[in-house]
Chain A
């Protein structure tokens, strides 16, 4: 079923995907903690979560103490943890690893993002400039594909052209802009294209402007970047502008040093923001068609380095939302020292492209092989 960017009737709302990127390599071992395993405590002498502090979900695994909201949602069956996610020969370079996640090309340099390709299928006629909206400056490679329009919003409350001009003069400036970009006969294909693009940008900004104006909520999001971003996602989603894919990121996970107190702070921010976001949607009765995918480019090393942890593999991802059948998926990577990769790293147990395929096929309902480059084992994670 191809999307047309517009909502269907009450029961048939279009599925919406919200992607949250944890930038820097989240320490999965300290997010979902094997709290009864002595190897964990041996390996994590400095950054380990002391026994008794983690939040158990069964007799082997426990959430990070600061991830209480996530644990609460997990207990309500809204959180699926995809354990041990990764790929062969996991790259330890942030840039390369992130590229691999974004383009589904572990073996060569890819130039198209998996979500860019998805958007091309969701809105083949480019009917809606807001089919995909990224919150942040510039475009993540995941969303970039030639000819696929994606809106990148740095600041939702001040989005659009010539935002640097003070408010009282800006309307006048935009009028002049509109006149300057008016299509004219015989000005040639490049000028025509520029006119069209300029008009599209004006239109997109005009539509997006409705979102803050329409929004009201009782939820008070915290004052941090991911809470702000997810509030922006909520505002645009609730404005019903036909957006199918939202993208945002939460930075700071590269905890080589200062993992304590940095990582606990990130857990607080992220899990609090996710909780607030879904409560916000729930209050507006707008959460049943939203799935959130939370991922990171890699996990971290088994042993800490006396202050933090270095780049590793064997990470974890999350799918969150009402449509999700909560629980643990794939296998927790073995933390037995004999099983360590290069004697220092957890082995992945599940290929990330299977998760993408799951989301594409079962949630967004589009074919996945040409997007993720092949066929991968999917999960039965949707209700």
Chain B
């Protein structure tokens, strides 16, 4: 899909909430399949939710999979979950320094990686993203670098070192690859997002430390949609920020959650919490708390793992792609004449 020349941004409304405490405890990432959502919890348990009926999460085929442990197919400090074209799941684990491949039913397929700082080794593999050939980029957080592998774990290349100059990193985390192959890195402790070529050549950076628009406080996740828009989970500021493909700040999301279906069912059978919810302000309950990752599907729906509030919030982008004949080219100077 070619990138649009520009967009008419009609809006980006909130759609719905999935999950709740106990089902999606400490969610760190979500993988989007056709109608099914695999929510990776920091505990190692992967909850499987459906779009229409997330209340039936534990019945039959929808039982949670994986779990906490060092054995094959379980996780100690999982960070990222991906789904590939063959519809199997990939999970990075910062504690066991492994990348693991499991089926959608949780059966172990394969794993690779071990601790170290040489080529092909990890110290805290955190972010992960596939390129169009399904090679996988991994942010090797405590080695302050990005590594690229084939799917079966063969090392291809690496770049990055500790530091804050262009191309250097400080505990990188979330990763994304756009359809042209560029790599976006949430450079966590440098409070910025860096963009590289597929081979690791520095292209540009967004953000600096702070809490104003376009600034970050420990960004954790990054995503790119089919329009080239860049989404950043700005965890320390409890928000998600949206940037255009040129890196221009567009808007921020602070959270607008409602009750998921399972949360609604829970509340209706619990008299005490029902009363307490009635006694308290809804405001903080809608907001993001330490969002850990942001994902966008091919229908331009944005999924935010709202870790602090133990759920996933979903938003729908509403935008019209524009061709150069519909919109003027960017002017050099602003104009007061806006009619």
Which A residues lie at the B interface, using CB under 8 A?
92, 256-258, 301, 303-307, 310, 342-344
Contact status of A257 and B22, CB under 8 A, knowing A305-B265, A306-B262, A306-B265: yes
B213 at the interface (CB under 8 A from A): no
Given A301-B269, A343-B271, list of 13 further CB < 8 A pairs?
Answer: A256-B22, A257-B22, A257-B23, A303-B269, A304-B269, A305-B270, A306-B55, A306-B56, A306-B262, A307-B58, A307-B262, A344-B269, A344-B271
In whole angstroms, what is the CA distance A258 to B269 when docked?
16
Which of A258, A304, A310 contacts B63, CB < 8 Å? A258
Residue of B265, B269, B271 with most partner-chain A CB within 10 A: B269
* Residue interface bits B256-279, CB-to-A below 8 A is 1, else 0: 000000100110011110000000
Query: Closest B-chain residue to A305, C-beta based?
Result: B269
CB <8 Å contact, B269 and A307: no
* A292 vs chain B, min Cβ distance (A): 32
B253 at the interface (CB under 8 A from A): no
Which of B55, B59, B270 contacts A310, CB < 8 Å? B270
B57 at the interface (CB under 8 A from A): yes
- Within 49-63 of B, Cβ neighbours of A (below 8 Å) are at 55-59, 63
Query: Closest A-chain residue to B266, C-beta based?
Result: A305
In whole angstroms, what is the CA distance A303 to B56 when docked?
16
In whole angstroms, what is the CA distance A304 to B58 when docked?
14
- Within 25-71 of B, Cβ neighbours of A (below 8 Å) are at 55-59, 63
In whole angstroms, what is the CA distance A306 to B265 when docked?
8
Query: Closest B-chain residue to A345, C-beta based?
Result: B271
Residue numbers in A under 8 Å from B266 (CB-CB): 305
* A252 vs chain B, min Cβ distance (A): 14
Residue numbers in A under 8 Å from B55 (CB-CB): 306
CB <8 Å contact, B271 and A307: no
Residue numbers in B under 8 Å from A257 (CB-CB): 22-23, 58
Residue numbers in B under 8 Å from A258 (CB-CB): 58, 63
Residue numbers in B under 8 Å from A310 (CB-CB): 269-270
* A42 vs chain B, min Cβ distance (A): 13
Residue numbers in A under 8 Å from B59 (CB-CB): 307
Residue numbers in B under 8 Å from A343 (CB-CB): 271
Residue numbers in B under 8 Å from A301 (CB-CB): 269
25 of the cross-chain contacts (CB-CB < 8 Å) are: A92-B272, A256-B22, A257-B22, A257-B23, A257-B58, A258-B58, A258-B63, A301-B269, A303-B269, A304-B269, A305-B265, A305-B266, A305-B269, A305-B270, A306-B55, A306-B56, A306-B262, A306-B265, A306-B269, A307-B57, A307-B58, A307-B262, A310-B269, A342-B271, A343-B271
* B310 vs chain A, min Cβ distance (A): 13
Residue numbers in B under 8 Å from A305 (CB-CB): 265-266, 269-270
Residue of A256, A257, A303 with most partner-chain B CB within 10 A: A257
What 3 pairs across the A-B complex have the smallest Cβ distances? A305-B269, A306-B265, A307-B58
Query: Closest A-chain residue to B63, C-beta based?
Result: A258
In whole angstroms, what is the CA distance A258 to B47 when docked?
12
Residue numbers in A under 8 Å from B22 (CB-CB): 256-257
